[in-house]
Structure 1
Amino acid sequence: MMDFNLKTLQGELGIVLQENILDYWEKYSVDDLSGGFIGQVNADNTKSFEANKGLILNARILWTFSISAVEMRSDDYQKLADRAYTYIQKYFRDPIYGGVYWELDYLGIPTQRKKQIYGQAFTIYALSEYYCLTGIQEVLDWAIEIYKLMEQHSYDDKYVGYIEAFGEDWSSLSDVRLSEKDANYEKTMNTHLHVLEAYTCLLQIWPNDQLKLKLTALINVFLERFIKSDGHLSLFFTRDWVLSGNTISYGHDIECAWLLTEAVQEIDDEDLIEKVRLVAVKIANGFIEEGIDYDGGVINEREGSNGKFDYDKHWWPQAEALVGLMNAYTITKDPKYVDALLKVWSFARKYHIDHENGEWHWLVNREGKPDLSKEKVGFWKCPYHNARACFEMINRIKHVKK
């Protein structure tokens, strides 16, 4: 019965991926007026052609259509990937100091030239996937160039880890926040998680001993600094690793569980692999106990200061939960993880997926009502989490033994 449910889920995800996600982005995100992709499309699918264009949105579009072109053998998706690469190279790339800018206006003029390491990492991630699609050497060379800039400027030789952000010329900044809602600390779990993700992908196409050492060090930073004894992640630190706050982000917990497992597969260390697998399962267990609401939806956060829950259901933790729980099932073969992920999917299918207008709603409240003031396409609203979850789940279910 479990295999039947997973196979049914596999089919549903294939349809959602094609008809609800990729078709939507192909139809609504292309900017035929100013080039590249539109900076914002609202919940009712109205296009804001003069919205600023963020690096994260564009890098994630490049990643999404690159993997879509590879997995689905689609010339149309390759054209969109080519479009994304050309735009990023022309407008986001810093020809003087290297790296990529954080934000442009709708005409492609930089409005924030800072070097946010989170954005540099996502560019490496996207370029690595685009290289898998095209095999173009200059794409790989550019990814390696950004990696070396990150190691030169962001890696902390004294305390290890990566400093959050820099100025245009890689000078230090007083405000290193990723977004206005984030605390202003020099080291964050979120940025380290996506450096880990980027380095994993880069190592797969560029076997390099130094990069492997850096990825190993990142894995150990997670085991020693970010993952607490209760299986939750610590989010914000000073440069010398003094923790600030105890907010729990359930989406990041479960995303980390599977990304860390993927990363350690690239390292020839069986002891470290086993250690990470145990941690990934521990995270998944805590996630099931606390992070999934009565209705199957993934809760956004719990404040560490007062223990108050934010019961809003954002789109991306639902997607990450599918993969993180499937990862735990692959490790343990315990059907409770499949049961949990099917409940999450049932919630996402019912409340997050916009079956009428396409894509997924940014968030729904605890009563299941979507917030239609939130955009469908935007600086942070991208096709990466939900499309990636579909690809990951479809491929992982293929390997489930009958």
Structure 2
Amino acid sequence: MKGPGKLLARSGPTGPGPADAPGFWLENEAHRDWLAADALKQFDFFRKSKRKDGGFHTLDWKGKPLRIQLQELHSTTRMIHAYAMAELCGAGGADIVDHGMQYLAQGHADGEGWAWGAEGSAPSDRRRMAYGHVFVLLAASSAHLIGHPGGQPLIDQASQVLMDHFWEEEPGLFGADFGPDWTPLDSYRGMNANMHGVEALLAAYEATGWEDYLNRAGGILGFFLGQMAPAYGWRIPEHYGPDWSVDLGYDGDPMFRPAGTTPGHSLEFARLLLQHWDLSGRPENEAPSVAHDLAQQALTDGWAEDGGLIYTVDFDGAPLLTDRYWWPVTEGIGVLASLIKLDPQEIYEEWYRRLWTFAHEHFIDHKRGGWYPALNAKGKPVETQFKGKPDIYHALQATLYPLAPGLSRQITSLPLITS
């Protein structure tokens, strides 16, 4: 893995860690305290999202509700997941989990599945998206971990819907999206829903111990990381046709289905690969080296000259969308933390410090809490693609995964929040 280049990690006494500290920040008490403090700030900031009439507000940078009525399924479910983590950490979150679970049942629920968008107490955008439904399974699994009475029933329900409608048995992947009557919307097949499907399946395995979840996650990882990634120079194709043939020329939604390949997704997938490998008993296979190769290529392709990770690149590594969002940085932090725990190399530490230093200087709102979602060309926060601070999910996990004792979530072992 190549080094981070001319920009070196730097931080003051209130930064993520002492720049001149020997060893690894994961073992540094000041860094771990700083991570815990940022997690608490995030929990406090996003508690204000709770709507009195059900669901959650999108908050502006100051923490005030924006006038956005549509609530998308992935946003509702990510809040449930995040505040289940708060509860497990000792920071308290059961009330928000319960609030979100009620809104899933009373706002998003639409017959057999869940509507992509809801307003008030009724579905409004009634598309049934694989991406949204796998997050229902994630939310259910996290709720179950804190003992919510609706957790296990929702795991069962979400699993049934996913297997009955979205799972394609022959490739062993999550497939088409649907309209309200379960008619396929189009012939598109995508990597993103499957990547988050792995996340949800692993969470369901950790919550229930049922190995079918682990096995299905392994099959998805085998296709995208065992076949596709090495065939395309460790850049993962995002878009596919109905027969799961790669569509290199696809150019759809600029946020959810952009052209090219996404370094942030490679970083996220690499962490999930290590999580699956760890949960599988750390078998003697190539998972650690594949995670290394994916992370190396993503960081090489994605790191901008003036810092941050760009959104998308072509399959020769040429930049496409050079927007710099918060979430690729958080996913880089997550996989680097896992790689350091597994094989503590200096080059991983250089990147880990660099990403945290950049986040500290550009993305984190130290005064009010939460992270800004995007930067302009001068490295200043900007509202273009995103309005306000859209969610807690990515940035929270960036603070919690380094603190967990292993490569899996194992959030239940974290003592830091109550210390």
Provide the TM-score with structure 1 as the length reference: 0.86
- In structure 1, what is the equivalent of residue 215 of structure 2? 213
Give the SS at the match of 2:167.
coil
RMSD (Å) for aligned C-alpha atoms: 2.4
Give the SS at the match of 1:227.
helix
- In structure 1, what is the equivalent of residue 121 of structure 2? 108
Among 385, 401, 410, the alignment partner of 1:392 is 401
- In structure 2, what is the equivalent of residue 22 of structure 1? 43
Aligned-partner residue type, residue 258 of structure 1: R
Displacement of 1:224: 3.7
Of the structure 1 ranges 314-323 and 352-361, higher mean CA displacement relative to structure 2 is found in 352-361
Among 226, 231, 236, the alignment partner of 1:233 is 236
Displacement of 1:100: 1.3
Of the structure 1 ranges 261-270 and 386-395, higher mean CA displacement relative to structure 2 is found in 261-270
- Which residues of 2 match residues 41-56 of structure 1 at below 5 A? 41-56=59-74
Displacement of 1:147: 1.1
Deviations 1:44-90 (A, max 9, x none): 5442345211111110000000111111252xx21111111122122
- In structure 2, what is the equivalent of residue 242 of structure 1? 245
- Tell me, yes or no, if structure 1 residue 254 matches structure 2 residue 257: no
- Tell me, yes or no, if structure 1 residue 11 matches structure 2 residue 6: no
- In structure 2, what is the equivalent of residue 36 of structure 1? 55
- Tell me, yes or no, if structure 1 residue 299 matches structure 2 residue 310: yes
- Tell me, yes or no, if structure 1 residue 372 matches structure 2 residue 383: yes
Separation in structure 2 between the aligned mates of residue 197 and residue 299 of structure 1, nearest angstrom: 23
Separation in structure 2 between the aligned mates of residue 279 and residue 83 of structure 1, nearest angstrom: 40
Of the structure 1 ranges 297-306 and 356-365, higher mean CA displacement relative to structure 2 is found in 297-306
For residues 5 and 73 of structure 1, do their structure 2 counterparts lie closer, same or farther at Cα, with a shift above 3 Å needed? closer
Separation in structure 2 between the aligned mates of residue 320 and residue 395 of structure 1, nearest angstrom: 15
Separation in structure 2 between the aligned mates of residue 189 and residue 270 of structure 1, nearest angstrom: 25
Of the structure 1 ranges 156-165 and 85-94, higher mean CA displacement relative to structure 2 is found in 156-165
- Which residues of 2 match residues 110-129 of structure 1 at below 5 A? 110-129=123-142
Provide the TM-score with structure 2 as the length reference: 0.83
Of the structure 1 ranges 352-361 and 305-314, higher mean CA displacement relative to structure 2 is found in 305-314
Deviations 1:98-155 (A, max 9, x none): 22111012x122111221111110010011011101252x421221221122112222
Separation in structure 2 between the aligned mates of residue 276 and residue 190 of structure 1, nearest angstrom: 20
Aligned-partner residue type, residue 394 of structure 1: L
Among 186, 189, 202, the alignment partner of 1:187 is 189
Separation in structure 1 between the aligned mates of residue 282 and residue 61 of structure 2, nearest angstrom: 47
- In structure 2, what is the equivalent of residue 177 of structure 1? none
- In structure 1, what is the equivalent of residue 182 of structure 2? 170
Gaps of 5+ in 1: 175-184
Is the contact between residue 219 and residue 264 of structure 1 (CA under 8 Å) also seen in structure 2? no
Separation in structure 2 between the aligned mates of residue 384 and residue 84 of structure 1, nearest angstrom: 14
- In structure 2, what is the equivalent of residue 92 of structure 1? 108
Displacement of 1:22: 1.1
- In structure 2, what is the equivalent of residue 161 of structure 1? 173
State the number of aligned residues: 374
Separation in structure 2 between the aligned mates of residue 224 and residue 5 of structure 1, nearest angstrom: 31
Deviations 1:318-365 (A, max 9, x none): 111111112222232212111111111111111111223432111012
- In structure 1, what is the equivalent of residue 324 of structure 2? 313
Give the SS at the match of 2:124.
strand
Of the structure 1 ranges 283-292 and 80-89, higher mean CA displacement relative to structure 2 is found in 283-292
Displacement of 1:241: 1.9
For residues 254 and 212 of structure 1, do their structure 2 counterparts lie closer, same or farther at Cα, with a shift above 3 Å needed? closer
Displacement of 1:225: 4.1
